[in-house]
Amino acid sequence: METMFGIAVDGVAYGMILFIISVGLSVTLGLMRVVNLAHGAFAMVGGYVASYAAQTAGLPYGVALVVAVALTVLATLPLERLLYRRIYGSANELAQVLLTIGLTFVIVAGINYLFGPTLKRIPLPELLTGTVELGPKAIPTHRAFVIGAGAATLLGLWWLLERTDFGIRLRAAVDDPAMAAALGIRTERLYLATFALGTGLAALGGVLGAELLPLEPYYAIRYIVLFLAVVAVGGAGSIFGSAAAALALGIVDTAGKYLIPNFGEFFFYVALILILFRWPHGFFKGRTA
């Protein structure tokens, strides 16, 4: 019983971290239909900015987090205007893959040149170190914080996409850009704002997830499969789908590693195959935001 509880708690914690680092991709891939393989690179840029702000400039953790998200968004907006705008639309999938993977290589090389190949860290404040007791099980305080942040992000996004004007216009613009434009919706601005939202979430995930996925220049390539898996299982564009997928994969992976570690990543990929076999478009395709 205690083992089951332990697996459940660790699984949910891992799942929430997977959610928070993948949800940005769910926004760009799902809502804007851009296969953004540079998502990991944006997350990494956010992490490096936070690391620099906290370690070299000496800012507190919270401020570093905000600065990282803001700077990453600012730095990537010109990319939207210059590059991404040209590849919107599902007819351009090959161009999207080529452009974004190329962008990833450029960012990897740039980070390697500027910050060197060694691991970087984002120092945690006193408040987030140590452990929290949950009955018989102790989990790191930082992870509890990430679970909270993940839940808040989930609700915030749901509200933004389902309950606001912005959300309605965005969904209209995605479903039928020509008709939306004809109705007077300024689709270009809307896409810019959504792109900013996606990269902001990527940066947020990069910073919050840095304890689990340490920052180094190959972060961008090393973990992209993980992000894509979560979005594929969740159903592109579905925020709740991403959360459900991240939690399911997190729990399966944790249980597999605890019970039969020799099987390695086997259970993660078996779960991936079975889920996609049953729901080829992911859990929540087209049902909710």
Partner 1 sequence: MTRTLRNALLGAAFGLALTAGSAGAATIKVGVVAPFSGPYGVVGKSFREAIEIYQAEHGKTVGNDTVEFIYKDLDQANPAQSKALSQELIVKEKVSFLAGYFFTPDALAVAPLIDEANIPCVIFNAATSAITEKSPRYVRTSFTLWQNTVPLAEYMAKQGIKKAVSAVSDYGPGIDGETAFKTTFEKHGGTVVDTIRMPMKSNDFAPFMQRIKDSGAEAVYAFLPAGPTTLAFAKAFSDTGLKAAGIKFFGPGDLTQEPDLPALGDAALGITTTFNYSRAHDSAKNKAFVAKHKEMFGSTDTVTFTSVGAYDGVHVIYQMIKNGGGKIDGAKAVESVKGMSWESPRGPLTIDPDSRHVTQTIYLRTVEKVDGKLENVEKEAFPNQPDYGYKLGK
Could you please report the per-residue DSSP string of 204-230?
HHHHHGGGTS-B-TTHHHHTHHHHHHH
- List, as one string, the DSSP characters of 42-59: HHHHHHHHHHHHHHTS--
Q: What are phi and psi of 133, to 5 degrees?
A: -90, 130
Measured CA to CA, the distance from residue 273 to residue 270 in angstroms comes to 5
Q: Which residues contact 246 (CB under 8 A, 6 or more apart)?
A: 15, 16, 18, 19, 22, 230, 234
| Residue 121 contacts partner 1 per CB under 8 A | yes
Q: Which span sits near partner 1 by CB under 8 A: 156-164, 182-190, 214-222, 235-243?
A: 214-222
Q: Give me the count of residues in the chain.
A: 289
Q: Which of the ranges 88-96, 168-176, 216-224, 279-287 carries the binding residues for partner 1, by CB under 8 A?
A: 216-224
User: Which residues, in sequence order, are CB contacts of 200 under 8 Å at separation 6+?
Assistant: 24, 69, 72, 73
When asked if residue 228 is in the footprint of partner 1 (CB under 8 A), the reply is: no
Nearest to 11 by CA among 131, 137, 129: 137
Applying CB under 8 A, does 80 fall inside the site for partner 1? no
Considering the complex, state which of residue 116 and residue 156 has its C-beta at the smaller distance from partner 1: 116
Rule CB under 8 A: say whether 144 interacts with partner 1.
no
The reply to whether 120 sits near partner 1 by the rule CB under 8 A is: yes
Q: Does 56 bind partner 1 (CB under 8 A)?
A: no
**Position among 91, 134, 218, 286 found at the interface with partner 1 (CB under 8 A):** 218
Between 33 and 257, whose beta carbon lies closer to partner 1? 257
* Binding of residue 10 to partner 1 (CB under 8 A): yes
Q: In sequence order, what are the beta bridge partners of 132?
A: 139
In the set 91, 138, 168, 183, which binds partner 1 (CB under 8 A)?
138
CA dist., res. 135 & res. 147, Å (int): 17
* x-marked contacts with partner 1 along 157-176 as a string, rule CB under 8 A: --------------------
Select 217 or 282, whichever has its Cβ closest to partner 1.
217
CB-CB contact of 236 with 288 (8 Å): no
**What is the rounded distance in angstroms from the CA atom of residue 73 to the CA atom of residue 95?**
23
The reply to whether 53 sits near partner 1 by the rule CB under 8 A is no
Q: Decide: is 13 part of the binding site for partner 1 (CB under 8 A).
A: yes
Task: Work out whether 142 is an interface residue with partner 1 (CB under 8 A).
Answer: yes
Positions touching partner 1 (CB under 8 A) are 3, 6-7, 10, 13-14, 17, 112, 116-121, 123, 131, 138-140, 142-143, 211-214, 216-218, 222-223, 226, 250, 253-255, 257-258, 261-262, 264-265
